[in-house]
Structure 1
Amino acid sequence: KLNCIRITNIGLVLFQPFHNNVYYPFPSEAPSQHSSCITFQSHPASAPAGMPGACFPAFKFRSRQEPVDWRRISAIDVEKVASELDFITLQENIVNVTFCDVGKERCPYCQNPVDPVLLKMFRLAQLTTEYLLHSQEYLTSSLQALEEKLQASVLEKEQIRKEIENHAEEVKSLKEECKRRKRIITSQQMMIEAGANNYHK
């Protein structure tokens, strides 16, 4: 799995994981609730040649049920993560942040619920992150399938090259055999002609 989220505009254009505005993610094991590796299935119509083509159920965003680990989050130095490009910390917390349920959270001081607009923005960020995880997994699976196809083509090319070499050796051997037999035939013809001349004398 990738250690960080790597999504490129070109990749999204080449491997757009939508079909009629519906997600079709890649087949894999069911993701664990506490795993940072999110796996999906992809739509067969958008998959490159050589990739799985069975019909899979449409992807749906997962429900947010995990409790917020405030102690763990409070221990993270966000500025340090950003300045040091600490992708490991991001990966370690991506599941809790993406799939936690903040709708029922309340301020520990005033007990007021989360501001609706702020909650909406956070939910959009969660859905965006889940989409990027899906895209990352889709692109990774697509790349793996293409690499396997390339490897198969390389092996096939090598096999064809060996067959061509073997055929070339066979052709060379047949040409030499033809020359040898031609010399034998020529020699026999000369002997027959010489015998016929002696007979007439």
Structure 2
Amino acid sequence: MMANLFSTFDPSSSIMSLSLNWLSTFLGVLFLPMLFWAMPSRWSLLWHKVTSTLHSEFKILLGSAHFGSTLLFISLFSLIVFNNFLGLLPYIFTSTSHLVMTLSLALPLWIAFMLFGWINRTQHMFAHLVPQGTPGPLMPFMVLIETISNIIRPGTLAVRLAANMIAGHLILTLLGNTGPSLSTSILTFLILSQILLLMLESAVAVIQSYVFAVLSTLYASEIT
């Protein structure tokens, strides 16, 4: 019996008090060797197309000073999308539904951007605090607003990803728990609705990974 609904997301698998749930984060690595050592398959060609498209888009966002930085954001997208999809499989821990995981991705990136910007491009960073055309009396308020919006960026990135992933899983869990008490006709409708929700969650897994990577790229482009 669950103590509460959110207890379904608590780490529970362990051997000798060592939690095994977070090992699911690295399951995506198991899919990589085939892409490099085997003959190209449809899956590998599809993934190459995806990464090439992301490289072209991130290169435009970063501008002329990207210097191979797109590899960082493509790797970030790949890690998140692998974990999002693996979390949809039964009995696999969804690490991206926890702020521990999402904050550990967003916070180091944001800190690195801020350190690089304020150390190497101080004047450029000060200019970002006051949008062009701001009236003189409003400048102190704009500096305050821009500073607050800059500080909460890693939090919004982390919360957006975690909340979107946990929301769909909660709906699937709630509907799944009502199955044993339903009649056959209603159970058929429930299964169909679960399949549709699973398709929606698959789309959300890709979209949220893309949003996280694109917003990180946009934050990086502001300091170049």
Is the TM value for this pair above 0.5? Answer: no
- TM-score after normalising by structure 2: 0.29
Higher relative contact order (CA 8 A, sep 6+): 2
Structure with the greater alpha carbon radius of gyration: 1
User: More helix per residue: 1 or 2?
Assistant: 2
